[in-house]
Amino acid sequence: MYKLAVIPGDGTGPEQIREGIKVLTAVAEHEGFKFEAVTYDFGGERYLRTGETLPDSALEELRGFDAIYLGAIGHPEVKPGILEQGILLRLRFELDQYVNLRPVKLYPGVQTPLKDKGPDHIDFVVVRENTEGLYCGAGGFLKRGTRDEVAIQNSINTYKGVERCLRYAFDYCRLRNKRRKVTLCGKTNVLTYAFDLWERVFSALGMEYPDVERDYAHVDATCMWMVKNPEWFDVIVTDNMFGDIITDLGAIIQGGMGIAAGGNINPEGVSMFEPIGGSAPKYAGRNVINPLAAICAGGMLLEQLGERRAASMVEKAVAAVCAEHLKSMTAGRMGYSTNEVGDLVVRYLK
């Protein structure tokens, strides 16, 4: 029996999570384990009603779960930043989910905007540092609102934070056992302090992994190679900000936000899984949003719980649905409704 905290969130989040839970329930039954789910209503509606984003008491409760399943956060009537910082980033930071794991995998049948590239070329993962860098909120204003204004936003990189993220990347690369290559994505030619640290730890740690090839690419070049030669990548490891940016590029080459999933991982604590697209309020409640991203996030959640067979079952079912049913799937046009896609995935579980 696993204890699952569910935060459906805003916009299309609840519809996506509904299909994800449908699949998790079906696969659990198949494999003979159970979920006990507790739903939390954090998000824009609750904030507008009560002024509360994430109460401290709830945060303590969340520490007691085996995993968290998150829909989407973001509401058109709430000023940008409040919910993101108050809920999503706060959870990542407080629960010390120091890795944001984002697979970039093109399933057969899914269209990519990359010419002449297919599933054989697009299959890598990004390990994004998730608790430091520019996301720390370190900095401030001086003389705000005047012509003498100074705005400072600091990128914090600690030895401990960098090392544990890199170690995760190396270990994950071994486990994945594909090209056995880790590419550090940075900007050593300009960010000469932050990425100097990253590079030194990368080289030193790499010695412990002689079976894993090490490579380096600047972030701008990484963007270029992701489009031109995505097959070069196996595991990309990078800081928080660069990871945020390159994983949107990753999402689009794997078929769009409808399929891109991610995990906020604390290997020693509680991890949280989410579709990486936003809340898409304009499509909310219309049963048109693609739930595959949430379903894939559910698959990652199973993997983290150690239910590897169940996780692989979900992935295979998603791949089959893409290949058999969503052949013409492009961003925003599925040809199926949200619940039909969930039903299809359940049908292909075996």
Q: Which residues contact ligand IPM (rule: CB under 6 A)?
A: 84, 88-89, 244, 276
Nearer to Mn ion, 240 or 271 (CB): 240
Q: Supply the minimum distance, in Å, between the C-beta of residue 295 and ligand IPM.
A: 18
Longest dimension (CA), the chain: 65
Q: Supply the minimum distance, in Å, between the C-beta of residue 248 and Mn ion.
A: 6
Start-to-end CA distance of the chain, whole Å, equals 21
Nearer to ligand IPM, 92 or 325 (CB): 92
Separation CA 6–CA 72 (nearest Å): 11
Nearer to Mn ion, 41 or 248 (CB): 248
Instruction: Look up residue 240 and give its two tokens.
Output: 């928080």
Q: Supply the minimum distance, in Å, between the C-beta of residue 195 and ligand IPM.
A: 20
DSSP, collapsed to helix, strand or coil, labels residue 196 as helix
Separation CA 311–CA 303 (nearest Å): 5
Number of residues that bind Mn ion (CB under 5 A): 1
Residue nearest to ligand IPM (CB): 84
DSSP, collapsed to helix, strand or coil, labels residue 166 as helix
Q: Supply the minimum distance, in Å, between the C-beta of residue 74 and ligand IPM.
A: 7
Secondary structure of 269-293 in the HEC alphabet?
A: CCEEEEECCCCCHHHCCCCCCCCHH
For residues 147-157, one letter each, b for 16 or more C-beta atoms within 10 angstroms of the residue's C-beta and e for the rest, the string is eeeeeeeebbb
Nearer to ligand IPM, 129 or 307 (CB): 129
Q: Supply the minimum distance, in Å, between the C-beta of residue 244 and ligand IPM.
A: 4
With beta carbons less than 8 A apart as the criterion, state whether 186 and 218 touch: yes
Q: Supply the minimum distance, in Å, between the C-beta of residue 209 and Mn ion.
A: 28
Separation CA 176–CA 180 (nearest Å): 8
Instruction: Look up residue 100 and give its two tokens.
Output: 């944001």
Nearer to ligand IPM, 19 or 244 (CB): 244
Tell me the residue type at 65. Answer: F
Q: Taking CB under 5 A as the rule, does residue 244 contact Mn ion?
A: yes
Report what 84 binds from Mn ion, ligand IPM, none; CB cut-off 5-8 Å by kind. Answer: ligand IPM
Q: Supply the minimum distance, in Å, between the C-beta of residue 89 and ligand IPM.
A: 6
Beta strands in 144-234 (DSSP E): 150-153, 181-186, 213-218
Of 289, 278, 281, 287, the C-alpha closest to 329 is 289
Residue nearest to Mn ion (CB): 244
Quickly count: other Cβ atoms within 10 Å of residue 102's Cβ. Answer: 25
Q: Which segment (28-36, 190-198, 241-249, 338-346) binds Mn ion by CB under 5 A?
A: 241-249
Instruction: Look up residue 221 and give its two tokens.
Output: 């070049």
Nearer to ligand IPM, 84 or 231 (CB): 84
Nearer to ligand IPM, 276 or 300 (CB): 276
| Footprint on this chain of Mn ion (rule: CB under 5 A) | 244
